[in-house]
Amino acid sequence: MKQHHQKQESSISALSPPVTNVLMKVLPIVMAVFVGFLTIGIQLPVLPLHLHEGLGMGTLVVGMVIGSEFVAALLTRAWAGNYADMRGAKRAMLLGTMMAACSGMVYLISLAFVETPEVSVWILLGGRILLALGQSLLVTGSMSWGIGLVGPKNAGKVMAWNGIAMYGAYAIGAPLGVAMNSEWGFQGIAVAIFFIPLLALAITVGTKGVVPTSDRRIPFYKVLSAVWLPGLGLALSSVGFGVISAFIALLFAAKHWGHSSIAFAVFGLAFIGARIFFGHLPDKIGGAKVALVSVMIEAGGQFLIWGSDMPEIAYVGAALTGFGYSLAFPGFGVEALRRAPPQTRGLAMGAYAAFLDLSLGIATPLAGAIANAWSVGSVYLVGAISVGLSIFVAIKLLNVASVQHG
């Protein structure tokens, strides 16, 4: 087993030799990811309002349209991963940006049917599916491309910087979308969604690509069997992120605290800070070790929010959740990549990211039902338990690694 892993690692290194300055090498890709995910960030606070107030749809329809992106992303991860492996990661990312731009065009078309809201909603749904296809290609393409440029021994850094770009785009895109909507309405949002991805296209089109790693389509189940354990860790730890994003504002409203935006802000700052200062650790000391410590911190943050009787404690809990979850993704991700065959890099990253889609797609509605049955605060106890279970996954990964190297 040990010889197998040594052979696998040497094969990967031969495919993509490492470089010293990781950030400078992948900077165009990271910038393109940031720009590409702005298309998602600017519509986060605006699309639900357009559906509810502009088209008169109920919360069920709003939830279905918003949630359709998670479902479509989950269903297309395997296709996107195989595309990146067979056609090249750069080509996958360029196609992803074009699909994201096309979603803006579909949004614009939907505005021609506002007098028949049902038709407009179906067209919007088509735009969300296109956006999900683009997102799948962007995520798998950018990670596979970056790892191909700097080598698998820097995979954790690639994931960390891509994550900073994604969540930074969400943080900046949301208030930007609100401002644009107040000035130009949803039409302005749709136009921006069409043009913004083209900027990402311009950034990456001249950047050096990497050769495709596979000449044939690999069955998804073969990679899934290799990455399912780290993926399970990601899915369980992602519940903490899900309940923060979906329910922290409701918790603050229920407790009459106000200023829930501070909780979002400290979560985001801790998330980005952890990746900037500690994003190198999964590559340096091992993904399982980093994941173990990270999810323990995240679980503690969830417990603090659950037991909080004043907003300041909830702020600390949100910060700990953001800090811990930030390094859980690359921690488990390095373990997933290490277990996958070298020629399936894109597919492995797609399969791994699918566990995040699955987690958010299932856990968020379930948490909503729990909040309705008991209280909003109870979802953070559920979050703490779920994240706590990922501790056992990290321990299992550590034990497997020690056996292989022992």
CA distance 302 to 295: 10
Task: Say which DSSP state 218 is in.
Answer: P
- Grade residue 405 by pLDDT with cuts at 50, 70 and 90: low
How far lies 144's CA from each of 71, 96, 148, 265, in Å? 22, 14, 6, 30
Please tell me the predicted confidence (pLDDT) of residue 5: 44
Structure tokens at 146: 């970056």
- Grade residue 72 by pLDDT with cuts at 50, 70 and 90: confident
Structure tokens at 118: 């049902």
Structure tokens at 70: 């998670």
Please tell me the predicted confidence (pLDDT) of residue 3: 44
Please tell me the predicted confidence (pLDDT) of residue 217: 67
Backbone conformation region of residue 259, classed left if phi is above 0, alpha if psi is from -120 to 50, else beta? left
Contact 342, 213 (CB under 8 A): yes
Q: What is the tens place of the pLDDT at every residue in 45-54?
A: 788 778 878 8
Predicted confidence (pLDDT) at residue 278 exceeds the cutoff of 70 = yes
Please tell me the predicted confidence (pLDDT) of residue 10: 41
Predicted confidence (pLDDT) at residue 27 exceeds the cutoff of 60 = yes
Walk me through the domains of the chain, giving residue ranges and CATH numbers: 21-209 (1.20.1250.20), 218-406 (1.20.1250.20)
Backbone conformation region of residue 188, classed left if phi is above 0, alpha if psi is from -120 to 50, else beta? alpha
Mean pLDDT of 239-255: 82
Q: What is the tens place of the pLDDT at every residue in 158-192?
A: 888 888 888 788 778 878 888 898 899 999 999 99
Predicted confidence (pLDDT) at residue 403 exceeds the cutoff of 60 = no
Q: Who contacts 313 (Cβ-Cβ below 8 Å, separation ≥6)?
A: 304, 305, 307
- Grade residue 63 by pLDDT with cuts at 50, 70 and 90: low
